[in-house]
Amino acid sequence: MMDREQLKLELKQMIIKECEKDLRPEQIPDDAILIGSQGSLALDSLDALQIALAVKQQYGKRIDGNNQTRAALTSVNSLADFILSDAAP
C-alpha cells in the first residue's frame, strides 16, 4: 500500500512539473480546487488532460471523460483517493 501523505506530495510535485506552475508543493493545500476559474491554481481543461495522462503513465489509472473519473481531478485529496482506490485502471 502506497503511503497516502507521500503520494500527495508526489502528486503536488507532478502537478507543478506537468503544468509548469511556479509553486512549491507546500503551497498547494490538499483540498484546493485544481481545475477551473474557482480554483486557486488557475488550471484549465488542457492542464487537466496533461495531468490525466501523467497519472495514467505513472500510476496506471485512467482519467477520462466520464464523471466519476473526472471528479478525481477535483483536488489533490480526491486524486490520491482515486489512485489508492481499487477501481480498475
Partner 1 sequence: MIKLVSASHYLQPVYDHAALTSLEAPLKGLCREPFRRIDRFIQLALLGSANCASGRNLRPDCGIYLGSGLGPIGNNIVTQEQLIRDLEIPKPFNFINTLGSSAGFYVARNLGLQGQNFFISRRGASLQAVLSAAMADMLLGFVTQALVGVVEEVALPLDAHRLRQHLSQDILLAEGSHWLLLQSGASDSRSLDLKRFAEFAALEDFLKSAWRTGDRLCCARSMETHAAEAMRRDFNAGALSDPASAFHDSLEAAWLAAFVTGGEQGNLFLVDGHPERGWSLFYLGA
Partner 2 sequence: MAGAYIRGVGLSCALGEDAESCVSAMQRMQVRPVRLHLDEFDEPLQMPYYRIPDRSELFDAGRFERLLPPVARAAVAQAGLTPEEIHRLPMFIGSSCFSVGLSESRYASALVQQPETAIPMPLCGYQDIAVILQRTLGCKGDTYTYNTACTSSANALLAALRMIELGWYRHTLVAGAELANRTTLAGFSGLQVVAETLRPFDAARKGLLMGEGIGAVVLSAETDSANRLRVIGGASNCDTWSVTTANTDGNSVAKVLNQALHQMRVQPRQVRGIKAHGTATPAGDAAEALGLRQVFPNLPPVSVLKPYLGHTLGACCVNELILYAGALLHGFLPATPGFETPDPALGVQPITTPEPAPDGHYLLNHFGFGGNNTVLALEKIAP
Return the axis-axis angle of helices 4-18 and 45-59, rounded to nearest 10°.
130
Main-chain dihedrals φ then ψ at residue 43, nearest 5 degrees: -95, 150
Alpha helices in the chain (DSSP H): 4-18, 45-59, 67-70, 76-84
For partner 1, the closer CB: 22 or 26: 22
**Which positions from 40 through 79 interact with partner 2, judged by CB under 8 A?**
44-46, 49, 52-53, 56-57, 60, 62, 64-65
For partner 2, the closer CB: 16 or 70: 70
For partner 2, the closer CB: 23 or 46: 46
85: Cα within 13 Å, side-chain hemisphere: 14
- How far apart (Å, rounded) are the C-alpha atoms in residues 36 and 78? 16
Q: 21 touches which of partner 2, partner 1, none (CB within 5 to 8 A by kind)?
A: partner 1
Residues lying near partner 2 in the complex (CB under 8 A) are found at 44-46, 49, 52-53, 56-57, 60, 62, 64-65
Residues lying near partner 1 in the complex (CB under 8 A) are found at 18-22, 46, 49-50, 53-54, 57
